[in-house]
Amino acid sequence: MELEQVLQFLCFLVLFFISFFMLRSKLWYCNCEICHAYVTSCWSLKFDNLCDWYAHLLRDSPTKTIHIHVLRNTITANPENVEYMLKTRFENYPKGKPFSAILGDFLGQGIFNVDGHSWRFQRKMASLELDRHSVRSFAFEIVSHEIEHRLIPLLSSFSSSHDGGGSVLDLQDVFKRFSFDSICKFSFGLDPMCLELSLPLSKFAVAFDMASQLSAKRAMTASPLIWKIKRIFNLGSEKQLKESINMIDLLAKEVIARKRETGFSTQKDLLSRFMRSVEDETYLRDIVISFLLAGRDTVASALTSFFWLMGTHPAAASAVRVEADRVLGPNQGLKNFEQMHELHYLQAAIYESMRLFPPIQFDSKFCAQDDVLPDGTSVRKGTRVTYHPYAMGRIQDIWGSDCMEFKPERWLKDSVFFTEDPFKYPVFQPGLRVCLGKEMALMEMKTVALSLLRRFSIHPVTHELSRVPRFSPGLTATFSDGLPVLVRERKTQPSCS
């Protein structure tokens, strides 16, 4: 124990002096107001969230592009730049080795952390599977079963507790548990039973949360040297990250081994489908963990924001119910995947929710060769280039003078949903890396939204509903205080599908 304390102290000294001299030299070289505000965190005196400060800076920039020199990061909210990075010059803006290093311990060689041949192979294989009608129907069955047999009974129990008065429920926590159960069933054929609140969260879920959060913190440091030194000495957050990843690896290996023992040739889950083409267990682990990250955290984040907005905009919640009664019939639930295409207002409300609160607030690439963006911004080789969907949803030049308002109607023409230019709405990462799970994620969100809004009245209990929520650091947007709500059962409810 004494030796560990000595190592921690030495590591602290090394990190302190490296950080001090590195930041001093960069600030002296840069000498700009933005870098000073970032390093000293004085931006937090006016803004609750880093993303809101970035949105403010990007709004005020003539080109909608800014530079954080101490991070060697160019950040843009210019749709032309986004299209240039993700489509026109796609090959010049890969994920890059710096990004792969940050998430490498967690995601390994999974699809979201690689470029080139490995990315193309995984994308082709995933596309062939996820585009199948049988796969989408399987996902719909899982989500519907989880809603009817766990999610609705859970909310009903909170609604009827304490003599019908109801008790406060953290809906964000519920959605994380729900989406984790659903994606584990879909990806592994495994039921972690996280939505059973009487049971503790599975070790896998806890380790997954910790690994996601700590991996994201690596990207926030002014230099990768800081976390790399901590990793070498196995100290602090890097020690926690290693322990979490070891737990994930152990459980993933057990799942794969069980699949091989019981057979996977006729199973419908994603892991079984991939195992028919891939034998390497480490590769299988990386592929499935990546899809687990995408399918769990993003859906939970999007649902949390959606229900926060529904709680603060009751007219929109009512409009969703009216449309459902008209399209599906009073007291009738969804019967299949295809019925969702007729729910135009629901689709508009979900898209509008993600315009203001995208699950992935920003995404970064690395410039492979010196370049010039369409707005005239010069980008040097090795520069991190970030496009910022959260800020883009708050820019008047893109969305008009009412850009800060929640208005599902902006997505409707004659009551029919229409899509906007994907490069001004890059929530699903347009271009060659467009989200393969988009349709299934939308299906899950619509099914949950429809089921809960028609059965319950859900009211956030926070005292400052007019303020933007505070977010916790992470790979996806998470409300730092959760989403505490009161739940009331409505008198008129749809029948189970």
Distance between CA atoms of residues 387 and 193, nearest Å: 37
Q: What's the rounded mean pLDDT across residues 342-371?
A: 96
Of 471, 173, 434, the residue nearest 300 (C-alpha): 173
pLDDT at residue number 12? 55
The model's confidence at residue 494, banded by pLDDT at 50, 70 and 90, is low
The residue among 358 and 194 whose pLDDT is bigger is 358
The model's confidence at residue 19, banded by pLDDT at 50, 70 and 90, is low
Q: Which domains does the chain have, with CATH numbers?
A: 93-358+393-489 (1.10.630.10)
pTM of the predicted protein model: 0.88
Distance between CA atoms of residues 102 and 92, nearest Å: 20
Helix H, strand E, coil C: the string for 338-364 is HHHHHCHHHHHHHHHHHHHCCCCCCEE
- Structure token pair of residue 80: 């032309």
pLDDT at residue number 163? 47
The model's confidence at residue 291, banded by pLDDT at 50, 70 and 90, is confident
pLDDT tens-digit map of 171-212: 999 999 999 899 888 888 888 888 876 666 678 888 888 898
The model's confidence at residue 362, banded by pLDDT at 50, 70 and 90, is very high
State the Cα angle at 385 between 382 and 391, rounded to 5°.
165
pLDDT at residue number 27? 43
State yes or no: pLDDT of 325 exceeds 80: yes
State yes or no: pLDDT of 484 exceeds 70: yes
- Structure token pair of residue 48: 């609750």
Beta bridge pairs of residue 365 = 385
Beta bridge pairs of residue 471 = 479
The model's confidence at residue 2, banded by pLDDT at 50, 70 and 90, is low
pLDDT at residue number 349? 98
Tell me what percent of the residues of the chain surpass a pLDDT of 70: 90
pLDDT at residue number 149? 93
The residue among 366 and 491 whose pLDDT is bigger is 366
The answer to whether 77 and 64 are in contact (CB under 8 A) is yes
State yes or no: pLDDT of 164 exceeds 60: no
The model's confidence at residue 162, banded by pLDDT at 50, 70 and 90, is very low
Provide the residue count of the chain.
Answer: 497
Of 301, 406, 296, the residue nearest 355 (C-alpha): 406
State yes or no: pLDDT of 305 exceeds 80: yes
The model's confidence at residue 26, banded by pLDDT at 50, 70 and 90, is very low
pLDDT tens-digit map of 425-468: 999 999 999 988 898 899 999 999 999 999 999 999 875 666 78
From 72-86, 88-102, 223-237, 389-403, the region with the lowest mean pLDDT: 223-237
The residue among 112 and 17 whose pLDDT is bigger is 112
Most confidently predicted of 155-164, 281-290, 406-415: 406-415
State yes or no: pLDDT of 486 exceeds 80: yes
pLDDT at residue number 82? 98
Distance between CA atoms of residues 431 and 88, nearest Å: 9
Q: What's the rounded mean pLDDT across residues 364-368?
A: 95
| DSSP code for 174 | H
DSSP β-ladder status, 73-76 and 384-387 = parallel
| DSSP code for 465 | T
Asked if residue 367 belongs to a known ligand binding site, the reply is no
State yes or no: pLDDT of 267 exceeds 90: no
Q: Give me the chain's average pLDDT, please.
A: 87
Of 71, 88, 55, 106, the residue nearest 364 (C-alpha): 71
State yes or no: pLDDT of 139 exceeds 50: yes
pLDDT at residue number 165? 56
The residue among 126 and 154 whose pLDDT is bigger is 154
pLDDT at residue number 135? 82
Tell me what percent of the residues of the chain surpass a pLDDT of 90: 51
479 residue type, one letter: F
Three-state DSSP state, 33: helix
